[in-house]
Amino acid sequence: MGHAAPAAWLDALLTDRVRGGLARLDPDVTDLLRLGAYQLLRMGSVPPYAAIGQTVELAKQRHGIGASRLVNAVLRRIDRDHQAGGLAALEPATPPDDPLEALALRYSHPRWLVARWVERYGMEDAERLLAANNVEAPVVVRPYGVTSEELAESLAAAGVTVEPPPEGTIEARDSLRLAPGTPVTALGAFRQGLFFMQDPASTLVTQYAAAPAGSEAADLCAAPGGKALELARTARAVYAGDRSVARLRRVVANARRVNAPNVLPFAGDARAPAVAPVDVVLVDAPCTGTGTFRRHPDARWRLRISDLAVMAALQREILRSAATVVRPGGLLVYSTCSLEPEENDMQVDAFLADHPEFALEPPPADAVPESALDAGRLRVLPQRHGVDGAFAARLRRARQVAA
């Protein structure tokens, strides 16, 4: 079942054991049952008697004796079934006939999203994506102001293990993967500003961008600031903007901690960029985030199919505005952490059709692994690359617009 007990699977096993199903229960009682079942099945540190007893007592305090008896009966049955036959004994009594519904239940994803991915990737590849979304994301860090070798030595001296990536996982140059459970923010190297955390997919976006040394760059949707820091490795200045002042504080804090004085934060809406034309403009656009579900498991349930159209409209507006602050001959880099065509290829294709002064330009040789490139665009997929999902396109503006 992956790293955690998926919510839809928990609901299915509870529904099988509640007469009349979960729909008839108070939503808070349902939540208590979910918590109790999760403790029983996934938290080995909590003995069954404690998981059941605590949940029953909560139900009694909040909903009375009747609710506590129901919770007690359901959780004890789950515990008996689990003890007798393991997780296999908890599978739904009547599995769905619809294969898409079966996948949605098994991996706890909305059926409409499963259907999209099966149509795009095929059943086998889509199932790998669903499974990848239920696995805990690793801790990956990026050295700053030191080499990766120096950072590794510093971490080793603090007793931190640097792990090799699993076979088949794509790598970003100089990233270091730390052992699960590493208390990152408590490390001296963190407080000294020797690294920041960033998934390889995000790092690959800026390595794909390949900002020229000494250039002026703008990151128009910058928070929390990791991509701005990556651009600042080679750029003379990076104007890091975000419309949210609260989120911008994270950019400021990150830049100060690692001592990146060439990152210049500002509050501003990317739909009306408050910068003069620069050499490189990065638009890491707001998106549905379907490539980062392993980091935000609840996001899959908040997402609605209508959000694709809403986000696409916002992305289109931001991209058009960002183009106005790219110097002639400069680069516009569009990226998302979405897997959806409406937010990725369709955005780029529509923009290029409307802006003949821009053309897709693949990155320099060896900027990113060949497996991450698709017809000159960056395409990183969780099920194929073992990291978050990401998309990017490098768009070069002509030095002179044809008359």
Active centre residues (catalytic): 337
C-alpha dihedral sign at 86, 87, 89, 90: positive
**Sequence letter at residue 233:** R
DSSP 371: G
Helix, strand, coil % in the chain, rounded to nearest 5: 45, 15, 35
Which class for 71: exposed (0-12), middle (13-18), buried (19 or more C-beta within 10 A)? buried
- Tell me the backbone φ, ψ of residue 199, rounded to 5 degrees: -65, 145
CA 151, CA 325: separation in Å to the nearest integer?
37
Residue 152 is encoded by which pair of tokens? 């590794």
Do 309 and 279 form a contact (C-beta atoms < 8 A)?
no
DSSP 232: H
Q: In 3D, which of 68, 62, 81 has the Cα closest to residue 14?
A: 81
CA 207 to chain centre: 18
